[in-house]
Chains A and B, each alone.
Chain A
Amino acid sequence: MKQLHILLFSISLLVSSTVYSQQKQDSIVIKQKYGIRLGVDLSKPIISIFEDGTKGLGLVGDIRVLRNYYAAFEMGFDEKTTNEDYLNFTTKGSYIKAGFNYNAYKNWAGMNNEIYVGVRYGLSFFNQTLNSYTPNVKGTYFIPTTFEPNTEFNDLTAQWVEFLFGMKVETFNNLYLGVSVSFNNMINTEEPENFKNLYVPGFNRVFLNNAGVGFNYTLSYLIPIIKKNN
């Protein structure tokens, strides 16, 4: 009886050790790709088809710095004619943004998707043209007059901070589709005289409290440079 117990015990040790060693053999090391990802904002050309007086191009890119951290940059230009009740103006200019993304998504082995949060600093150089305006008068005793001054306000700048939230999905090998929403907060703008920066390229519509919202839909390609275990 005692001998049987010893036998069973040694068998169980043997079995457990073989299982353990087998597990070790099974685990495959999946290397993480590090590289530069470059892409284009697809939302801008789509919007320009449906909205008159809107033109724009946006390029996005990021570099994976650490496993979950990406240095991100964006640049582009916008041309937009805004029509308000008493105003019509055109904004034209370019922007650059830089910051980082933190990927909060825990991928399964072999997957490279992201659900991220990020911060950006934005800088824009632009011109505003006041195409026309109608002075706001209560009542219509005199026929309202519309003026077309075509006043140009040149060399305007704006700086802001964005907090963004988005995701990227690897659809084909190294090809990513991404979507993000950003909440923008103006730091400072060089305001035109007797007018206001109501639209800023890269920032979009400037709301009353100097806040803004951004949205983009990107298609980007990862150029892998190195592969690391971590």
Chain B
Amino acid sequence: MKKFIVLIIVSILAFSGCEKDDICIEATTPNLIIRFYNNDIPAEIKAVTSLTVWADGKENQYASQTLDSIVIPLDLANNNTLYRLSTATLEDQINFTYTRKDVFVSRSCGYKTIFENLQIESNTTNWVKNISINNSTIDNETAAHITIFH
């Protein structure tokens, strides 16, 4: 009978640590983060007034807002995404290219996509003066990946 009780206690202990893994709480596919800086004073953040952002052929991500940074998703069906950024008067387009890599996260989250070899294939410079890539691997959302000087 003693053994019986011991075994029951062991089995309860073995099972008591169960967690619910039906809810996805881990980080999933990261977005591209862009910050806007002053082209004349490169260390100074400079917000864009009346900024509208949309991917080619899609609805607006941001519409006429004053922003010093934007967070935009990349297309998982293609290896490039063409974004259009317009101020009140001028419009610029940036074509991002990347390679996609799907990384397993967990049962409930499934896979997330991370982007590697992020490059700017082409861009116009109507109001955007310069673009620099801070991090060509997009696997988190902790810091800006792209800096736009204007």
Q: Taking beta carbons and an 8 Å cutoff, which residues of A are in contact with B?
A: 84-87, 102, 104, 117-119, 133-139, 141-145, 147, 163-165, 183-185, 194-196, 198, 207-209, 211, 213
Contacts and interface: CB of A to CB of B under 8 A. Distances in A.
Given A102-B4, A163-B14, A142 B110 contact: no
B111 A85 contact: no
B8 interface: yes
Contacts of A135: 28-29, 76, 102, 110-113
Contacts of A85: 24, 108, 110
B55 interface: yes
A142 B73 contact: yes
A183 B7 contact: no
Centre residue among A119, A194, A208 by max chain B CB count within 10 A: A208
Contacts of A195: 104
Given A136-B29, A207-B19, A117 B111 contact: no
Nearest to A119: B7
Given A142-B75, A147-B102, A84 B11 contact: no
A228 B114 CA distance: 68
A190 to B, nearest CB: 15
A139 B73 contact: yes
